[in-house]
Chains A and B, each alone.
Chain A
């Protein structure tokens, strides 16, 4: 093949590749980048739906940056994400490991039951758990009352409100993480375990020295996506606790939602959304820096 023919063929392949990627890029521009740029522009204006827009510079950002409730919601988001991720990752790992040692039919049934909460809408989950937490009729207070313990204000108590939203979020989050961990575990070559068994390593050591390290990439993926999703949770705190008490369960997106709903002018809610996007970007950067993914040795 001549050099010109080779270059021509290479160019043709490149053009074909660009053409195939073009629809996705167009969709990204239309539905992601353009709205973000428009939001950025409008965040510098005072605007309602009935009056002419007025350029006000950084005023909307000033309102948000000096609003202690915004920063409180960021901290609430961090706290919620910490509890959600730490407990759900550990639970999902344990469940996935257990499924690996089950027989086929038991594993199938377990996977189904573990995944069901994932497909239930957050609003429905909120109402289910809201009924359970009900001060008068909820099953939790009925049970503890049976043991002579005073009924608790699960959703309004300062020590229980956060866990009242963490619990349903874990219930919903464990399913997907379990299946992804399970898929990752199934990809680990059995020769590692055979070699370890020959060397006398028990199940715990095999888990610690083989399973954990080989699931690093999967863990990074779950950490990043799970943390971002947790930071964006709003429906559980809106419907279960209303964001209280004292804003202790007002997550960042709930804060933005409340601003959008209550404010006469929309600029501050746009500014807060963009500031939250920066915070989420920083989270992703920290996770990638701290837990960098590795190439599989055999990969």
Chain B
């Protein structure tokens, strides 16, 4: 009996000790979730988080890499369970929407304005809502860059230093480049892939996206989209593109392997090509994506990008914001290291980092980088923030024409009806958080 009493007492004491509040010496742990787009990105994040953890006396950051395919459901499940990370990555286009939902909280509550002064102006606008900064961008990439094989151009009698600038030229070149072993061009073929990889093309043809700025009605049933759909139809009818895309929409693998002579894909491929296909780096040319009239200053690409934000329910917002400020808005060397590891296919959003890149003689002679920084990024537009179902309607309209043989007018009329129905059912009109009125 005495033994039992002693044991019980010991257990009670042990439990009460465990329940004591943490001492002041214990560090605050910040959970950071981020998508591991590239190997270098994981290494970069791990390296600099380690530095931060070593330097910080009060805060410890723990990184979790969550694949894109599992991101939405993992984050939603965490939100439902009230176990969200303190910091996570938010797509640039979604910052205003997430802020409106209360999912992220203002950074400038805890960070001095000076952290944001170095941001380039267009990214200041993307990161803010109602006068507050809600996230800090860390990378921007062009979604549509033309990659082409110079050696295949030469073999087809085309000038390897003169890539096509219009879609009519793409069709003309692709007809010469297509043979038994190679397609002249690759288009994406899944509804969703077409939808987002054609953002730049849509904006170029239509002077805007498929709905109005105020998100109150469709803007798709017009001659601009008819011309756009006609490009897809013509390329498929001529047999100069494969029936199914030979790769996922992220990678220029078919161009690297020579099974496709030209394709548009993101600027993130700069480093991927160097890593996976170093033997063809000198054979690949990079140019702005073709436009309707050949003028690359008239938007050839949509710009995608990511930022870090503090979760709306974080219990350590100050520490989380300070970490973001240190990593992304502090010493330019950190972001310069990021851009370097990315092969400069991911652009900096900070003036100081861009200036450092421009001063680097080796980089300023890199034709890929020069093309990206001089001809694509300055004229890019942010990817849209309206609901994905609306974007998908464009991809489906294109496939109805290409795969199902539907008439272009009928396809666009159906897309217009579907988009307007969605807007009405889901009360989307007027909800664009970035809309500033007429």
Q: Which residues of A contact B (CB under 8 A)?
A: 48-51, 62-63, 66-68, 135-136, 151, 153, 155-158, 242, 244-247, 257, 260-262, 264
Question: Are A153 and B190 interface neighbours, CB within 8 A?
Answer: no
17 A-B residue pairings within 8 Å (CB atoms):
A49-B79, A49-B103, A50-B102, A51-B102, A63-B425, A135-B242, A135-B244, A135-B246, A136-B246, A153-B189, A156-B244, A158-B403, A244-B399, A246-B396, A246-B404, A260-B73, A262-B388
Q: Which of B87-102 contact A (CB under 8 A)?
A: 97, 101-102
**Distance of A71 from chain B, by nearest CB (Å):** 13
Known contacts being A48-B101, A49-B103, A246-B191, is A262 close to B421, with CB within 8 Å? no
Asked if B162 is an interface residue, CB under 8 A from chain A, the answer is: no
Identify which of A136, A245, A262 contacts B399 (C-beta below 8 A): A245
Q: A48-B103, A244-B192 are in contact. List 18 more A-B contacts (CB 8 A).
A: A50-B313, A63-B426, A66-B421, A68-B421, A151-B243, A153-B244, A156-B244, A157-B403, A158-B404, A242-B192, A244-B399, A245-B191, A245-B403, A246-B191, A246-B400, A260-B73, A262-B387, A262-B388
Question: Are A156 and B246 interface neighbours, CB within 8 A?
Answer: no
Asked if B36 is an interface residue, CB under 8 A from chain A, the answer is: no
Closest to A262 in B: B388
Question: Are B425 and A66 interface neighbours, CB within 8 A?
Answer: yes
**Distance of A57 from chain B, by nearest CB (Å):** 14
Known contacts being A51-B101, A156-B244, is A242 close to B425, with CB within 8 Å? no
Asked if B206 is an interface residue, CB under 8 A from chain A, the answer is: no
A50 CA to B76 CA, complexed, in Å: 11
**Distance of A35 from chain B, by nearest CB (Å):** 13
Asked if B1 is an interface residue, CB under 8 A from chain A, the answer is: no
A101 CA to B76 CA, complexed, in Å: 53
Among A157, A257, A260, A264, chain B packs the most CB atoms within 10 A around the CB of A264
A23 CA to B20 CA, complexed, in Å: 37
Question: Are B101 and A264 interface neighbours, CB within 8 A?
Answer: yes
Q: Mark B229-267, 1 if CB is under 8 A from A, else 0.
A: 000000000000011111000000000000100000000
**Distance of B255 from chain A, by nearest CB (Å):** 14
Q: Mark B420-432, 1 if CB is under 8 A from A, else 0.
A: 0100011000000
Closest to A260 in B: B76
Kindly list chain B residues whose C-beta atoms are within 8 Å of the C-beta of A153. 189, 243-244
A135 CA to B97 CA, complexed, in Å: 38
Q: Which of B154-211 contact A (CB under 8 A)?
A: 189-192
Question: Are B425 and A62 interface neighbours, CB within 8 A?
Answer: yes
Kindly list chain B residues whose C-beta atoms are within 8 Å of the C-beta of A48. 101-103
Instruction: Name the interface size band of chain B.
Output: 20 to 34
Question: Are A136 and B259 interface neighbours, CB within 8 A?
Answer: yes
Question: Are B388 and A242 interface neighbours, CB within 8 A?
Answer: no
Asked if B51 is an interface residue, CB under 8 A from chain A, the answer is: no
**Distance of A48 from chain B, by nearest CB (Å):** 6
Closest to B191 in A: A244
What 6 pairs between A and B have smallest CB-CB spacing? A50-B102, A135-B244, A49-B79, A153-B244, A261-B72, A50-B312
Closest to A66 in B: B425
Closest to B81 in A: A49
Kindly list chain B residues whose C-beta atoms are within 8 Å of the C-beta of A261. 72-73, 76
Question: Are A262 and B72 interface neighbours, CB within 8 A?
Answer: yes
Kindly list chain A residues whose C-beta atoms are within 8 Å of the C-beta of B76. 49, 260-261
Kindly list chain B residues whose C-beta atoms are within 8 Å of the C-beta of A66. 421, 425
Kindly list chain A residues whose C-beta atoms are within 8 Å of the C-beta of B399. 244-246
**Distance of A137 from chain B, by nearest CB (Å):** 9
Closest to B387 in A: A262
Question: Are B244 and A264 interface neighbours, CB within 8 A?
Answer: no
Q: Mark B121-153, 1 if CB is under 8 A from A, else 0.
A: 000000000000000000000000000000000
Kindly list chain A residues whose C-beta atoms are within 8 Å of the C-beta of B102. 48, 50-51
Closest to B82 in A: A49
A196 CA to B62 CA, complexed, in Å: 74
**Distance of A53 from chain B, by nearest CB (Å):** 13
Closest to B404 in A: A158
